[in-house]
Chains A and B, each alone.
Chain A
């Protein structure tokens, strides 16, 4: 009995220590968060929105398709979908934000379908035609810090022709891959 009584203050102390610690953790978490959001706002002050994360995933997807790798393309599509979700458009004024959301709503669907169709590269490439149009619009509306090229292949999309955005000067066609790697030309530089 006595030994149990001795234990009580120890228990009380340890509980308070644990409680205090978790409280502290919460505090530091909150501190980190506010710092992070602060960082973002100072970064976005100039451009209001940064689509670089989206562009990076798009380029990864483009390169996977150019290498005929439907599984990597699916992974990149999933990553791209997440980047669309996490890109913050709150700083845009309401008109610009509505335009942004209209473009991204469609682009997200294409990213999702590309992610869901691992192994079906033809289906992925169909969506990539439309996704690339969306990306071009995003890029021209919101800009990027990267050096980029707009490429065009007149044969892609059943002869309708299709664009894609590239980070390299060299033509590496994502619609045909190794079948017709060099089909296409640079139409624009950003």
Chain B
């Protein structure tokens, strides 16, 4: 009994060690296209830029600010899954390439997601305290979005 548990721990440790070598390409483009990026495209005021950058852009743009634990697996795999899914639904770095129709729909959807507190994700806020924007800040974003 004791022996098999010891072996299990060894296997788990070796797997944990090996998976650290899996470090796929990061979601970092460095350049921001001023023609296409949402905040440039919409000429967003500074406050809105700050709020959206800090609470949305990690998963909804081509530039993620990775936290230190992104170097450790399996956190990185989970993070990449979130980013992939987030960008599929809405990529602010690709905003200017969206059709007019798509932009209008997305704005409608963004407002609903914020108002219903589905976004930013709770699991994201847990690890990113500064992304935990309050009701007043959310209202500022929504009010601004409605002027677009």
A binds B: yes
* 1/0 contact string of B108-123 vs chain A (CB within 8 Å): 1100100010100000
Which residues of A sit under 8 angstroms from B108, Cβ to Cβ? 130
CB within 8 Å of B: which A107-129 residues: 109, 122-123, 126
Interface size on B, residues (CB 8 A): 10
* 1/0 contact string of B80-105 vs chain A (CB within 8 Å): 00000000010000000001011001
Which residues of A sit under 8 angstroms from B105, Cβ to Cβ? 106, 130
- In the complex, what distance in Å separates the CA atom of A130 from the CA atom of B109? 9
Q: Are B102 and A105 in contact (CB under 8 A)?
A: yes
* 1/0 contact string of A119-145 vs chain B (CB within 8 Å): 000110010001000000000000000
- In the complex, what distance in Å separates the CA atom of A126 from the CA atom of B112? 8
Which residues of B sit under 8 angstroms from A105, Cβ to Cβ? 99, 102
Q: Does A29 contact B (CB under 8 A)?
A: no
Q: Are A106 and B101 in contact (CB under 8 A)?
A: yes
Q: Does A102 contact B (CB under 8 A)?
A: yes
Which residues of B sit under 8 angstroms from A106, Cβ to Cβ? 101-102, 105
Interface size on A, residues (CB 8 A): 9
Question: How far, in Å, is A125 (CB) from chain B's closest CB?
Answer: 11
Q: Are A102 and B99 in contact (CB under 8 A)?
A: yes
- In the complex, what distance in Å separates the CA atom of A178 from the CA atom of B135? 32
Q: Are B112 and A103 in contact (CB under 8 A)?
A: no
Question: How far, in Å, is A101 (CB) from chain B's closest CB?
Answer: 9
- In the complex, what distance in Å separates the CA atom of A180 from the CA atom of B130? 41
- In the complex, what distance in Å separates the CA atom of A123 from the CA atom of B105? 15
- In chain A, what residue has the closest Cβ to B102? A106
Question: How far, in Å, is B115 (CB) from chain A's closest CB?
Answer: 8
CB within 8 Å of B: which A71-111 residues: 102-103, 105-106, 109
- In the complex, what distance in Å separates the CA atom of A130 from the CA atom of B105? 7
Which residues of B sit under 8 angstroms from A130, Cβ to Cβ? 105, 108-109
Q: Are B112 and A102 in contact (CB under 8 A)?
A: no
- In the complex, what distance in Å separates the CA atom of A109 from the CA atom of B91? 14
Q: Which of B89, B99, B102 has the most CB of A within 10 A?
A: B99
Which residues of B sit under 8 angstroms from A102, Cβ to Cβ? 99, 101-102
Q: What 9 new A-B contacts, CB under 8 Å, besides A102-B99, A122-B116?
A: A105-B102, A109-B89, A123-B116, A123-B118, A126-B112, A126-B116, A130-B105, A130-B108, A130-B109
Q: What is B's interface to A at a CB cutoff of 8 Å?
A: 89, 99, 101-102, 105, 108-109, 112, 116, 118
User: What are 16 A-B residue pairs whose CB atoms fall within 8 Å in the complex?
Assistant: A102-B99, A102-B101, A103-B101, A105-B102, A106-B101, A106-B102, A106-B105, A109-B89, A122-B116, A123-B116, A123-B118, A126-B112, A126-B116, A130-B105, A130-B108, A130-B109
